[in-house]
Amino acid sequence: MNCDDSLVVANCLLVLCNRLTMMIGRQIERQLEVFKVEGGFTEGLTAERLAYRKQQSVSADAPVCPLCGKPMIKRVAKKGINSGKEFWSCSDYPQCNGTRRI
Ligand SMILES: [Zn+2]
């Protein structure tokens, strides 16, 4: 390999690195656009899990929400004077704050 060949090879490598950097940059920009519209992978998984949990926890004897009419889910109060006690909560929570005593 003479001096000219080395220069050509070095130049080719530089061009290749530059192209790859540009391609990766464009790919990241495209993924960012998709992320803005559809949300991230973890976000999608959380939405699926919450929908499944909601579907599982709506029992046949569940009353309907006094505010919006959707089925209610049995929950346990985590704080306040009713802490530890069960109550009915709207399945549309947090969009709806409807509750009923059990
Ligand atoms: Zn409701």
88 closest CA partner among 79, 49, 98, 56: 98
Residue 23 Cα to ligand 1 midpoint, Å, equals 48
Tell me if the pTM is above 0.95. Answer: no
Residue 38 Cα to ligand 1 midpoint, Å, equals 26
Residue 66 Cα to ligand 1 midpoint, Å, equals 7
Residue 36 Cα to ligand 1 midpoint, Å, equals 29
Q: Provide the pLDDT confidence category of residue 1 given band limits of 50, 70 and 90.
A: low
Tokens of 60: 């046949």
Residue 62 Cα to ligand 1 midpoint, Å, equals 13
Q: So what's the pLDDT on residue 2?
A: 63
The answer to whether the bond into 63 is cis (omega within 30° of 0) is no
| pLDDT per residue as tens digits for the range 53-70 | 777 777 778 899 999 999
User: Strands across the sheet with 99-101, in order?
Assistant: 72-76, 86-90, 99-101
Cα within 13 Å of Cα(85), Cβ side: 10
Side chain identity, residue 98:
G
Q: Provide the pLDDT confidence category of residue 89 given band limits of 50, 70 and 90.
A: very high
Residue 69 Cα to ligand 1 midpoint, Å, equals 6
Enumerate the β-bridge partners of residue 74: 88
Residue 76 Cα to ligand 1 midpoint, Å, equals 17
